Structure 1
Amino acid sequence: MGPVPLLGEPWAVARADGSLWAKDPSVVRFQGRYLMYFTLPQPEPGTERDLCVGIAESRDLRSWELVGRLYPGGDYDAKGLAAPAAVVIGDVLHLFYQSYGTGPLDSICHATSTDGVTFERNATNPVFRPQGEWNCGRAIDADVIVDGDRLLLAYATRDPEMREQIVGVAEAPLDSGFGRDAWRDLSLDAPALRPELDWEGECIEAPAFVRTGGHADGRLVMFYAGAYNNKPQQIGYATSEDGVTWTRGVTEPFLPNGAPGTWNASESGHPGVLTDDDGRTYLFFQGNDTGGRTNLLAGVEIVWTDGRPVLREG
């Protein structure tokens, strides 16, 4: 596969040393502009290993401006927060993110906003950790999608030995407020996806929901990242009729890392999907050519052919 046309140039935020770094994009359209939520190092001297959520704004999906940050707000995320997922429900933007830096205790948290930049935390944070003997109890890399009268949440976790990264799915009533007592783990007995293909290595993570064709009644599709960062990480997808049982749509990467010398030679990872108001679909992802010393964010458009996603090439 040759280079895929990007939506503008790869983008990130400059750190104190001038290097560019941003990861884990999630993009929504809210109040007349696009907002991207992503993982970003905290800017204070000596805290660059402590992560926060960056907020960037765009009018055209091609150029971005940093407009805010979401910092730790309680004991549960005091060591950092990362991997945000945004969804707009009515007039409210809901943000799900993981606590960071506590290993098997990392959990999913929830916050809401009426302007997309300032947030109120859920009083019951953290709101979700998985159950079942097949996992270690950790939850990271959340993504969410409205599915009728429920909100589906996909999450990554690990096996009890903390070796293999795997994905599960949970649900909460759409009118529940998404607090800790609202969630039901749909992957109680077994994961929704675990690494099986050679290119996936020991890792399936960063699930990203969308529906085929950008239609509310389309089949559920979950893009995911296969392999740990820079191994290289690449992007695949799976489909589902019920949100519980998932079938891979491809056996080779849907969006591979780039060729040597390209900006994403080390990986194309951690997808996030936007279905725009006009039904067009865009896939955002992280990439770099430095083995992870830098990280950039980029987007591509997806078109649908016979219910299957295809990268737009022109």
Structure 2
Amino acid sequence: MMTKFTWLILFCCIPFCLLAQEKPKMYYTDTSSTGIKIAKDPVVVKFKGWYWMYYSKQAFQNTADGMQGWNIGIAQSRDLYHWKKVAEIKPDAAYEQHGLCAPGATVRGGKIHLFYQTYGNGPKDAICHAWSADGINFTRDATNPVFSPKGEWTNGRAIDAEVYHYNNQYFLFFATRDKAGEIQKQGVATASNNTNFSRGEWKQATDDAILAPQLPWEGKCIEGASIIKRNNKLYMFYAGSYNNMPQQIGVAESADGIHWRRVSDKPFLANGKPGSWNYSESGHPGIFEDDDGQTYLFFQGNNNHGKSWYLSNVKIGWNSEGPYLMPE
């Protein structure tokens, strides 16, 4: 027989159990092609009165190595929390036939410029460029792929593009791997202020990584750079460690876009506690600044080691030391 004391213990435990399973305000995924809940690699821009989110989605059941079968999903929102899928970018050119994903986006001259990667080609994966006047229909750059790195420090692969305008030039941040294909690290290229973003416009800014894994929680991977300007310098939100190891989000800062220093040796946004929706990881950041200066960190997460993937966001505050997580 249960005593009053036993019932009290059970009642007190319920909120904590529910809290572990509680879903965040934004909890978006895509089942449109395979029925599997998968949305990854978010980037958000404001364009023609709407918030637009571009993300990686499965086009068909992945091969055993997970290296093929990716398209780019497009979703719209009025409030940054509730999203509706409106379109999808599918392979069109020959270089995209194995897949395309991990978009980066910037708005310039009344157009959304998308920087995305080919996928499924190993070391030959590279950065491509396309643009759109309506956010849905994109024109491919005739010079695609527009960038891949060179030198002894890299195997030639370029993924996870992020393009940011700073100090009267454009920076293209990308992830690459070492010659052995084991260590993922960040590189950067630059283009002039009046660039058309095509191949030949981008110049590798340094023949070495600008940020490589060093801390225990970063494992063998730093990828997914997302950039914002604050305090008269750049801040890079980056993903440390490979997916589900767990991947977590760190922050680095730079005055010139080339030389970077970690703000902390701990993750800025860690994976969730056991039972939470993002227990397996909080990864692949996408920092977004709204028209009113408020900032939101978009990211991917799951709690089943990658059998499904969701996108969410957290609001970010700033002080002289850099970014901090705002209380819910």
Q: TM-score range by the shorter chain?
A: over 0.9
**Which of 212, 220, 223 lines up with 1:194 in the alignment?**
212
Q: Deviations over 1:12-47 (max 9, x none)?
A: 012556431100000000110100000011169999
**Structure 2 residue identity aligned to 1:113:** S
Q: Is the 8 A contact 1:272 1:284 kept in 2?
A: yes
Deviations 1:134-189 (A, max 9, x none): 0101000011111132111100000000000000011111322111110011122x
- Percent identity over the alignment is 47
1:143–1:153 Cα contact (<8 Å) kept: yes
For residues 186-213 of structure 1, the C-alpha deviation after alignment (integer angstroms, 9 at most, x for no partner) is: 122x100000000000000001111126
Aligned partner of 2:314 in structure 1 is 300
Is this contact kept in 1: 2:68–2:119, CA < 8 A?
no
- The residue number in structure 2 matching 1:121 is 140
Residue identity opposite 1:171 in structure 2: T
> Considering only aligned residues, what root-mean-square deviation do their CA atoms show, in Å?
2.1
TM alignment of 1:254-265, pairs within 5 A: 254-265=268-279
Higher relative contact order (CA 8 A, sep 6+): 1
Higher mean C-alpha deviation, range 272-281 or range 104-113: 272-281
Q: 1:93 to 1:17 in 2, by over 3 A?
A: closer
Query: Which of 79, 94, 99 is matched with 1:80 structurally?
Result: 99
Query: Larger Cα Rg: Structure 1 or Structure 2?
Result: 2
> Any idea what SS the aligned residue of 1:104 has?
helix
Pairing 1:224–2:243 present: no
Normalising by structure 1, we get a TM-score of 0.93
Gaps of 5+ in 2: 1-18
Is 1:34 the counterpart of 2:51? The answer is yes
Give 1:71 shift: 1.1
Aligned residues of 1:10 and 1:298 also touching (Cα < 8 A):
yes
Q: Distance in 2 between matches of 1:166 and 1:75?
A: 27
Q: Which moved more, 1:141-150 or 1:106-115?
A: 141-150
How many angstroms does 1:219 deviate by?
A: 1.0
Contact 2:23 2:277 in 1 (8 A): no
Q: Does 1:239 align with 2:253?
A: yes
In the alignment, structure 1 residue 144 sits paired with structure 2 residue 158 = no
CA gap of 1:130–1:121, structure 2 versus 1, over 3 A, is same
Does 1:106 pair with 2:125?
A: yes
Q: 1:208 aligns with which of 203, 217, 226?
A: 226
Q: Distance in 2 between matches of 1:245 and 1:309?
A: 19
Size of the aligned set, in residue pairs, is 307
Q: Does the 8 Å CA contact 1:57/1:64 hold for their aligned counterparts? A: yes
| 1:63 equivalent in alignment to 2:82 | yes
Summarize the Cα distance change of 1:45–1:19 in structure 2 as closer, same or farther, 3 Å threshold. Answer: closer
Is the 1:7–1:61 Cα contact (8 Å) retained in structure 2? no
In structure 2, relative to structure 1, the CA distance for the partners of 1:16 and 1:95 (3 Å cut) is: closer
Q: In structure 2, give the amino acid aligned to 1:133.
A: E
Q: 1:14 matched to which residue of 2?
A: 31
| Residues 1:48 and 1:227: Cα distance change in structure 2 (over 3 Å) | closer
SS in 1 for 2:200: helix
Q: CA deviation at 1:8?
A: 2.0
Using the alignment, how far apart are the partners of 2:213 and 2:185 within structure 1? 7
**d(CA) in 1 for partners of 2:153, 2:302:** 33
- Flag structure 1 segments of 5+ consecutive residues without an equivalent: none
Question: Secondary structure of the equivalent of 1:14?
Answer: coil
Contact 2:217–2:241 (Cα < 8 Å) also in 1: yes
Which one-letter code corresponds to 1:72 in the other structure?
P
Map of 2:14 onto structure 1: none
Hey, what's the Cα distance between the residues in 1 that align with 2:280 and 2:313?
17
